[in-house]
Structure 1
Amino acid sequence: MQQEAYGEVFLIDKPLEWTSFDVVKKVRNALRIKKVGHAGTLDPLATGLLIVCAGKQTKQIESYMGQEKEYTGTFVIGGTTESFDLEKPVISVADPSSVTLEQVQVAVSQLTGDILQIPPMHSAIKVDGKRVYESARKGIEVKMDARPTQVREFEITRFEGDEIDFRISCSKGTYIRSLARDLGEILGTGAYLKALCRTRIGSFLLSDAHHLPELIEAIKARPHENL
Structure 2
Amino acid sequence: MQHPMNRYEEGQMILIDKPLKWTSFDVVRKIRRLTGAKTGHAGTLDPLATGLLIVCTGRMTRKISEYQAREKTYTGTFTLGATTLTYDLESEPVYAGDHSLLTPEQLRQATVPFLGKQLQMPPAHAAIKKNGTPVYRLARKGIAVELEPRPVEITVFELTRIALPEVDFRVVCSTGTYIRSLAHDFGQALGCGAHLSALRRTHIGDFSVEEAVTPDEFARRLQEEETFRTDNLPRS
Deviation at 1:183, TM superposition (A): 0.3
Q: Is the 8 A contact 1:31 1:220 kept in 2?
A: no
Q: Higher mean Cα deviation, 62-71 or 90-99?
A: 90-99
- Structure 1 residue runs without a partner (length 5+): none
Show the counterpart of 2:232.
Answer: none
The residue aligned with 1:19 is 23
Q: What displacement does 1:140 show?
A: 0.9
Does residue 1:151 correspond to 2:148, yes or no? no
Q: Which protein shows a greater Rg? A: 2
> What is the distance in 1 between the residues matched to 2:65 and 2:177?
16
Per the normalisation by structure 1, the TM-score is 0.94
- Name the structure 1 match of 2:131: 128
- Identify the residue that residue 39 of structure 2 maps to in structure 1: 36
- Distance, in Å, in 1 between the alignment partners of 2:176 and 2:123 is 11
Tell me by how many angstroms 1:177 deviates.
0.2
Asked if 1:118 is matched to 2:116, the reply is no
| Secondary structure of 1:73 counterpart | strand
2:103 equivalent in structure 1:
100
Tell me the SS of whatever aligns to 2:67: helix
**1:15 and 1:4, CA in 2 relative to 1: closer, same or farther beyond 3 A?**
closer
CA shift, 1:39, in A, is 0.4
| 1:6 maps to amino acid | E
Whether the 8 Å CA contact 1:30–1:220 is kept in 2: the answer is: no
Match of 1:9 among 13, 27, 31: 13
Superposed CA RMSD in Å reads 1.5
Which residue is 2:92 aligned to? 89
Tell me, in whole angstroms, the C-alpha distance in 1 between the residues paired with 2:166 and 2:118.
24
Alignment partners' CA distance in 1, 2:185 and 2:8: 46
Instruction: Measure, in 2, the Cα distance between the counterparts of 1:100 and 1:65.
Output: 37
Task: Report how far residue 212 of structure 1 moved.
Answer: 1.6
| 1:162 Cα offset (Å) | 0.7
- What number of residue pairs does the alignment pair up? 223
Per-residue deviation, residues 176-225 of structure 1 (Å, max 9, x unmatched) = 0000010011111000001000000000001100122111122244449x
Instruction: Provide the rounded CA distance (Å) in 1 between the counterparts of 2:214 and 2:100.
Output: 39
The change in CA–CA distance for 1:5 and 1:77 in structure 2 (over 3 A counts) is closer
- 1:206 aligned onto 2:209: yes
Q: Distance in 2 between matches of 1:215 and 1:80?
A: 37
**Aligned-partner residue type, residue 133 of structure 2:** K
